[in-house]
């Protein structure tokens, strides 16, 4: 007896997703995850609305921010059976030159669900077991969270976690996060957990409000304060707090907009670090020589190495990084309503698509048969 599953396929950019049945079969080293939740990422919108190139041929199921439970395992992956897991958004091969040098995020053989593989806007997903992050359900429950809520750890939390780690943020640093929706909001919380004092910048007061509530020491609306004034306001704040006010700022550009990137570049000072976390197809006009003159550095960041996931998850479980108030769950069956609502900004929090209870009960019915398969 086989397992029946459903996934929502993108046949062409901008055209409604269509549900399709499939039979999830794990190959060697692979598992089938019954999906608890899958977050809708800016990157999904790019694929769907902006024609950003997709590696896999269409039709493809998008979605790379997945949590769930392993319900079937291929040869060599049996130890994962029954475990609750987070699927890394970028799954490196583990064997190549880059992986051996701990540069997994540039692994040329990496697989991204919803880009290289059929993704997570589905009842089930088939993924390599390598790199899965186990989730202890009692700890999750103690934190007042469910498995669907921590789907955002797959990308929105771990991507800034890697960026903050890579930038070497530590106690006493002044960190500026530009763009505090989704990824940026987590970036601010993680930087604070690493001991930094955080300045949050956005063009939306609605996104700045939760930052002002115990996360950022200063919030600035870039529609009201910009350019030299912005730099001056941050400098004055740093001076008042006894932090470095003229050098060594660590700036995380998370807005993924041209205006945001230009503003972030304008905040460079001596010894500064600019971490580019957000993505846009737009080009910006900057004086690159400022990096030279300021002896500054710019760092890029693609996903997060799976070995860092347990530490990022630990921050969520012990409350240093809050996720509950920054997400909202919607039924997966509403995907054709949720995507436009996220795109237009009607949905402001991270939307997590949750497969219907019918799909989940199907999972429990077929679990034993999948095992004997």
Contact status, residue 349 vs residue 326, Cβ threshold 8 Å: yes
How many Å apart are CA 338 and CA 289, to the nearest integer?
43
We find the least distance from the C-beta atom of residue 1 to Zn ion, in angstroms, to be: 35
Contact status, residue 232 vs residue 267, Cβ threshold 8 Å: no
- The DSSP secondary-structure symbol of 273 reads E
Does residue 107 interact with Zn ion by CB under 5 A? yes
Query: Which position has the token pair 């050098």?
Result: 247
Which of 69, 85, 65 lies closest to 151 in space, CA to CA? 65
Nearest CB to Zn ion, comparing residues 85 and 99: 99
How many Å apart are CA 229 and CA 262, to the nearest integer?
14
318 three-state secondary structure: coil
**For Zn ion, which stretch binds (CB under 5 A), given 2-10, 33-41, 231-239, 240-248?**
33-41
**x/- site string to Zn ion, residues 2 to 21, per CB under 5 A?**
--------------------
Does residue 92 interact with Zn ion by CB under 5 A? yes
Does residue 151 interact with Zn ion by CB under 5 A? no
Does residue 81 interact with Zn ion by CB under 5 A? no
Which of 264, 324, 330 lies closest to 298 in space, CA to CA? 264
**For Zn ion, which stretch binds (CB under 5 A), given 43-51, 227-235, 263-271, 291-299?**
43-51
Task: For residue 251, list its beta bridge partners.
Answer: 176, 274
Among 52, 96, 193, 299, binds Zn ion (CB under 5 A): 96
33 three-state secondary structure: strand
Does residue 106 interact with Zn ion by CB under 5 A? no
We find the least distance from the C-beta atom of residue 301 to Zn ion, in angstroms, to be: 12
Burial grade of 25 (CB within 10 A; 0-12, 13-18, 19 or more)? middle
Nearest CB to Zn ion, comparing residues 108 and 310: 108
Nearest CB to Zn ion, comparing residues 55 and 361: 55
How many Å apart are CA 151 and CA 148, to the nearest integer?
5
We find the least distance from the C-beta atom of residue 205 to Zn ion, in angstroms, to be: 25
Q: How many CB atoms neighbour CB 367 within 10 A? A: 16
Residues contacting 82, CB < 8 A, separation 6+: 69, 70, 71
Nearest CB to Zn ion, comparing residues 38 and 199: 38
Does residue 43 interact with Zn ion by CB under 5 A? yes
We find the least distance from the C-beta atom of residue 64 to Zn ion, in angstroms, to be: 6
We find the least distance from the C-beta atom of residue 199 to Zn ion, in angstroms, to be: 24
How many Å apart are CA 98 and CA 42, to the nearest integer?
27
Token pair of 280, please? 């846009």
Among 32, 40, 70, 99, binds Zn ion (CB under 5 A): 99
Does residue 355 interact with Zn ion by CB under 5 A? no
We find the least distance from the C-beta atom of residue 154 to Zn ion, in angstroms, to be: 8
We find the least distance from the C-beta atom of residue 48 to Zn ion, in angstroms, to be: 13
Among 5, 41, 243, 296, binds Zn ion (CB under 5 A): 41
We find the least distance from the C-beta atom of residue 49 to Zn ion, in angstroms, to be: 14
The site for Zn ion (CB under 5 A) is made up of 41, 43, 92-93, 96, 99, 107, 109, 155
């Amino acid at each position: 007896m086989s397992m029946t599953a459903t996934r929502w396929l993108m046949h062409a950019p901008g055209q409604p997703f269509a549900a399709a049945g499939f039979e999830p079969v794990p190959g060697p080293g692979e598992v089938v995850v019954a999906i608890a939740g899958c977050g809708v990422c800016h990157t999904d919108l790019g694929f769907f609305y902006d024609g950003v190139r997709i590696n896999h041929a269409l039709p493809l199921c998008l979605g790379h921010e997945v949590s769930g439970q392993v319900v079937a395992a291929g040869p060599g992956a049996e130890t994962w059976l029954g475990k609750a897991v987070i699927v890394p958004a970028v799954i490196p091969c583990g064997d190549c030159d880059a992986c051996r040098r701990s540069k997994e995020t540039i692994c040329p053989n990496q697989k991204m669900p919803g880009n290289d593989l059929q993704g997570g806007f589905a009842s089930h997903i088939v993924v390599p077991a390598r790199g899965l992050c186990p989730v202890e359900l009692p700890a999750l429950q103690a934190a007042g969270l469910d498995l669907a809520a921590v789907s955002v750890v797959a990308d929105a939390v771990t991507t800034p976690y890697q960026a903050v780690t890579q930038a070497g943020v530590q106690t006493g640093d002044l960190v500026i996060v530009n763009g505090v929706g989704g990824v940026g909001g987590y970036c601010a919380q993680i930087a604070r957990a690493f001991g930094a004092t955080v300045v949050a910048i956005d063009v939306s007061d609605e996104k700045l409000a939760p930052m002002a509530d115990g996360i950022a020491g200063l919030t600035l609306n870039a529609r009201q304060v910009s350019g030299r004034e912005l730099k001056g306001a941050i400098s004055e704040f740093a001076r008042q707090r006894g932090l470095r006010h003229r050098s060594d700022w660590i700036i995380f550009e998370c807005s993924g907009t041209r205006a945001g990137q230009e503003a972030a570049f304008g905040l460079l000072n001596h010894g500064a670090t600019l971490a580019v976390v957000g993505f846009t197809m737009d080009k910006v006009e900057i004086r690159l020589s400022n990096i030279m003159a300021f002896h500054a550095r710019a760092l890029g960041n693609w996903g997060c190495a799976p070995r860092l996931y347990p530490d990022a998850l630990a921050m969520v479980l012990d409350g240093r990084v809050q996720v509950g108030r920054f997400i909202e769950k919607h039924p997966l069956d509403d995907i054709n309503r949720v995507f436009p609502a996220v795109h237009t900004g009607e949905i402001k929090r991270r939307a997590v698509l949750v497969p219907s209870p019918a799909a989940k009960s199907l999972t429990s019915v077929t679990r034993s048969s999948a095992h004997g398969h």
